[in-house]
Chain A
Amino acid sequence: MTAALEIRGLEAGYRGTPVLRGLDLVVPDGVTAILGPSGCGKTTLLRAVAGFVTPSAGTVTVAGSEVVGRRTVPARLRGLGYVPQDGALFPHLSVARNVRFGLPRSVRDADARVAEMLELVELPATMATRYPHELSGGQQQRVALARALAPRPRVVLLDEPFSSLDASLREDTGRAVVRALRAAGAAAVLVTHDQGEALSLADQVAVMLDGAFLQVGSPGSVYLTPSDPRVASFLGHASLLDGKVADGREATCALGVVPLQTTTAPGVVRLAVRAEQLQIRSAGADGAPAEVVDISFYGHDATVRVRLDSGEELSARTPATSVPTAGDRVSVRVVGDVVAFAEGP
């Protein structure tokens, strides 16, 4: 089966400064999240695929037919759904007329399609006669998705679709959007800077930095086995520590001797310790002695920043029931295997 979307060697730039530096990505089916900090080029990538930015090199193939490469297919003929940041509903058209906007005149039962799409995005049919300004932010996003799905595209491109929603709405809307995409059988590329969103909604996550992908893989693999220290610190809020490997299975660092996830060649390494791998215990217990710098309390848990007596600062996540106070003396211990990256020569 051909991939829904295939990107090979894609390059693009604005006025001589490269923004995309040779990207490769295969979107088989399901949801692929492009995750990266703002300014990394992820929106440019999406717009290049959609046809609003002209790439300087590379190919884009949608469902087996090339849209960028030897010839450039204009944006309107690419058959891609597009959902921009705020949904960009046409403010002068009702919900129903927004949804049917992209349907060719030859579609006979456009009304039925509108109803079907609204059902797909879990909106009541009575909403069809409303106007965009009468909808909440989450409803607008769902209508925008219904509009993009109505012409039955193979791939839908979503550009930070939930970033303007409240935290409480964001999760529900995100789930509903993914359900609708699956029901419609459309693959999706979701651009986001929110790692929780990327990890929880996507089947595949591509971590992007400075116009290049650092790692592409399942949410579990990019989180648990990062291939690059930058991926580790961006995704898991991991603290990076210098260490030394002697026998390949263990490393020595400021936290003592820690087990490694994979066998590593002896030498100097960077160790990535994720926040939930660090256990804060009362002073004197087994572990490295440290002092609590500050605490961010979230309710369900808390992030505690500690300074080891040897000078390194680390972030640890602790259950809400056992939160120390700033200035406390504690001891810190690692739970589980640690990822090591060989230091460059």
Chain B
Amino acid sequence: MLLVVGVGVAALTLVPLGYVLWTTAELGADEARDFLWRPRIGELLWNTVRLLVAGVAASAVLGVVGAWVVERTDVPGRGWWHGLLCAPLAVPAFVNGYGWVSTTHAVQSFPGAVMVVTLSYYPLVYLPTVAALRRLDPAVEEVATSLGRGGWSVFARVTLPAVSPAVLGGALLVGLHLLAEYGALQLLNYPTLTTAILQQYATVFNGPEATLLALVLVSFCLLLLGLELLLRGHRRRSRVGSGSSGDPVRIRLGRMRLPVLAGLTGLALWALGVPLAALVRWLLRGTSAAVDLGELSGAVVTTLGLAVSGGVTATALAVPVVWLAVRNRGLVTTAVERSVYTASAMPGIVIALALVTVSIRLVPSLYQTVVVLLVGYTILFLPRAVVSVRSTFELVPPGLEEVARNLGCTGPGVARRVTLPLVLPGLTAATALVSLAVATELTATLLLAPLGTDTLATRFWSDASSIAYGAAAPYGLALIVLSIPSTWLLGRLSIRSAS
């Protein structure tokens, strides 16, 4: 029974990949080559690749430096800086793009695009790096110091290699987000594969061109995934001994204190100050046009409804997948779990395209309904749900279940009386995380939401993209408010001590 559900979930998550491969095959090689072999495609590829390389590199540098300053120096107010460095996660990238573009048009360029996406996504490197630095046994760094190494040498030769898997994982996430980013880049007028797919879709609905671009995009994502595996594979990062993670020795900044504080302040102003100031400015200016409270509250209700149902669906489907993978380890169950993870490399746009096509061809009655939208959210955010559900399941030792069985419980009885009560807090957290992600999702919602279903993100988008900056401001603010809880949660999780 559990296995059937698990295999069903896995099949669902493989729909987007299957769709891309199948329609491409249907198209035929000649037609595909004719379409792809054009200067326009070359330009899109070049734009995408250079944004990917520069954005990932800048995010990695910013994230690692920020984490090192917060975790390894005596910078005053470390707790506050940690909060401020996580905070950009609460500003959806397209809201950040709006903030910048409505402030200055100078950002509608390659450097501008790199800057905006870096400011939005560097926390994806920062958070895991902070967590890894926390877990790192300080004794390793102390030994290097006692062997005569200075601060920089210790960092480069000992600390960085030790936290590199975390940095690499964060960089992969940034890369996948950059490939999938639509809203911010569209506002910044920087065409990439993803924005081109949506343009194709808007002009000729669901032509073969969109599919071919999706194929290229998916190949990029899989390439990135493979690259990360390759880089990670050779690293020996197993921790030796149990180690007691005491307090690390912090480097005294001394004369560098002021420049470091100035740098952190500048980063906070750039990443948070500019978009927030723009929102407030447009909000105040927009009062002349009067915020339509009815429309705003309507969008809030729709968004919350979708968010909660999306969160519950994804978490509920994650439970059987995790249960199988953790408790009944085997070839099939591992395959089920892995197939879910491949969905994390699928950009929202590809998932949406796949669901549009599949629903029109196979179940026309479902096309343009909330069901398809929820399926889209589920595929999109299932990897996230599985990761957090899994981490809570691993906290329940199998010994407890064996004891319950020994005391006469049946299989379902064990689940109901022992396992589920123990994992319930974790499941709630997983639901909340997915719900909040759903609430600020833009790309897939634009394609899949039934006509007349307006979420905060789509309302914000329709106003912001038609340069109605004042009208968009209240929706932008609402999106930020919705994102604050999950950002806070992630920030807390990253600094919770490893013990």
Question: Which of these, B142, B148, B150, B249, contacts A84 with CB under 8 Å?
Answer: B142
B33 contacts the other chain (CB 8 A): no
A140 contacts the other chain (CB 8 A): yes
B326 contacts the other chain (CB 8 A): no
A191 contacts the other chain (CB 8 A): no
Bound complex: CA A144 to CA B150 (Å): 20
Question: Which of these, B137, B161, B235, contacts A88 with CB under 8 Å?
Answer: B137
Q: Is the CB of B148 within 8 A of A76?
A: yes
Bound complex: CA A52 to CA B143 (Å): 10
Bound complex: CA A236 to CA B118 (Å): 64
Q: Give the residue name and chain of the A residue nearest to B160 (CB).
A: A92
Shortest C-beta distance, A85 to chain B (Å), equals 6
A131 contacts the other chain (CB 8 A): yes
| A92 contacts across to B, CB distance below 8 A | 161-162, 235-237
Q: Give the residue name and chain of the A residue nearest to B144 (CB).
A: A101
Give 1 or 0 for each of A160-192: 1 = CB within 8 Å of chain B CB. Answer: 000010000000000000000000000000000
B238 contacts the other chain (CB 8 A): yes
Q: Contacting chain A: which of B239-247, B304-312, B369-377, B397-405? A: B239-247
Given contacts A92-B161, A133-B236, A137-B241, contact A102 B137 (CB under 8 A): no
| B148 contacts across to A, CB distance below 8 A | 76-77, 79, 102, 104, 151
Q: Give the residue name and chain of the A residue nearest to B249 (CB).
A: A52
Q: Is the CB of B146 within 8 A of A76?
A: yes
| A83 contacts across to B, CB distance below 8 A | 143
Bound complex: CA A101 to CA B161 (Å): 14
A75 contacts the other chain (CB 8 A): yes
Bound complex: CA A127 to CA B238 (Å): 18
CB contacts under 8 Å to A, within B192-243, are 235-243
Bound complex: CA A248 to CA B336 (Å): 84
Best-surrounded residue of B147, B148, B150 (most CB of chain A within 10 A): B147
Q: Is the CB of B240 within 8 A of A132?
A: yes
Q: Is the CB of B142 within 8 A of A147?
A: no
Shortest C-beta distance, A239 to chain B (Å), equals 34
Bound complex: CA A92 to CA B158 (Å): 8
Question: Which of these, A51, A77, A86, A151, contacts B139 with CB under 8 Å?
Answer: A86
CB contacts under 8 Å to B, within A235-271, are none
Q: Is the CB of A86 within 8 A of B241?
A: yes
B328 contacts the other chain (CB 8 A): no
Q: Give the residue name and chain of the A residue nearest to B240 (CB).
A: A132
Which size class do B's interface residues fall under? 20 to 34
| B145 contacts across to A, CB distance below 8 A | 51-52, 75-76
A80 contacts the other chain (CB 8 A): yes
- How many residues of A are counted as interface, with CB atoms below 8 angstroms from the partner's CB atoms? 35
A87 contacts the other chain (CB 8 A): yes
| B157 contacts across to A, CB distance below 8 A | 101
Q: Is the CB of A85 within 8 A of B147?
A: no
Shortest C-beta distance, B248 to chain A (Å), equals 9
Given contacts A82-B142, A85-B243, A85-B244, contact A91 B147 (CB under 8 A): no
Q: Is the CB of B240 within 8 A of A50?
A: no
B140 contacts the other chain (CB 8 A): yes
Bound complex: CA A32 to CA B414 (Å): 56
Bound complex: CA A50 to CA B148 (Å): 12
Q: Is the CB of A86 within 8 A of B237?
A: no
Give 1 or 0 for each of A53-88: 1 = CB within 8 Å of chain B CB. Answer: 000000000000000000000011111111111111
Bound complex: CA A203 to CA B143 (Å): 25
| B146 contacts across to A, CB distance below 8 A | 50-51, 75-76, 78, 80-82, 102, 148, 157
A208 contacts the other chain (CB 8 A): no
B257 contacts the other chain (CB 8 A): no
Bound complex: CA A93 to CA B140 (Å): 12
Bound complex: CA A92 to CA B162 (Å): 7
Bound complex: CA A84 to CA B242 (Å): 12
Q: Is the CB of B240 within 8 A of A84?
A: no
Question: Which of these, B140, B242, B243, B244, contacts A90 with CB under 8 Å?
Answer: B140
B149 contacts the other chain (CB 8 A): yes
Q: Is the CB of A91 within 8 A of B143?
A: no
| B140 contacts across to A, CB distance below 8 A | 88-91
Q: Is the CB of B240 within 8 A of A88?
A: yes
Shortest C-beta distance, B242 to chain A (Å), equals 6
Give 1 or 0 for each of A86-125: 1 = CB within 8 Å of chain B CB. Answer: 1111111000000001101000000000000000000000
Question: Which of these, B142, B144, B150, B236, contacts A91 with CB under 8 Å?
Answer: B236
Given contacts A50-B142, A52-B142, contact A90 B158 (CB under 8 A): yes
| A102 contacts across to B, CB distance below 8 A | 146-149
| B238 contacts across to A, CB distance below 8 A | 91, 132-133
Shortest C-beta distance, B244 to chain A (Å), equals 6
Bound complex: CA A92 to CA B234 (Å): 10
Give 1 or 0 for each of B125-151: 1 = CB within 8 Å of chain A CB. Answer: 000000000000101101111111110
Q: Give the residue name and chain of the B residue nearest to A81 (CB).
A: B146
Shortest C-beta distance, A128 to chain B (Å), equals 15
Best-surrounded residue of A51, A52, A75, A101 (most CB of chain B within 10 A): A52
Shortest C-beta distance, A145 to chain B (Å), equals 11
Question: Which of these, B144, B240, B244, contacts A87 with CB under 8 Å?
Answer: B240
Shortest C-beta distance, A275 to chain B (Å), equals 32
Q: Is the CB of A87 within 8 A of B241?
A: yes
Q: Is the CB of A140 within 8 A of B142?
A: no
**Interface contacts beyond A82-B143, A86-B240, A91-B238: sample of 15 additional A-B pairs, CB < 8 Å, sorted by A:** A75-B145, A77-B148, A80-B146, A83-B143, A84-B142, A87-B241, A88-B142, A88-B243, A91-B237, A91-B240, A92-B162, A131-B236, A132-B236, A133-B236, A151-B148
* List of 8 A-B pairs having minimum Cβ-Cβ separation, nearest first: A86-B241, A102-B147, A84-B139, A82-B146, A88-B139, A133-B238, A92-B161, A132-B240
A-B contact pairs, 7 of them (CB 8 A): A75-B142, A75-B249, A86-B240, A86-B242, A92-B161, A132-B236, A132-B238
Contact residues of B with A, CB < 8 Å? Answer: 137, 139-140, 142-150, 157-158, 161-162, 235-244, 249
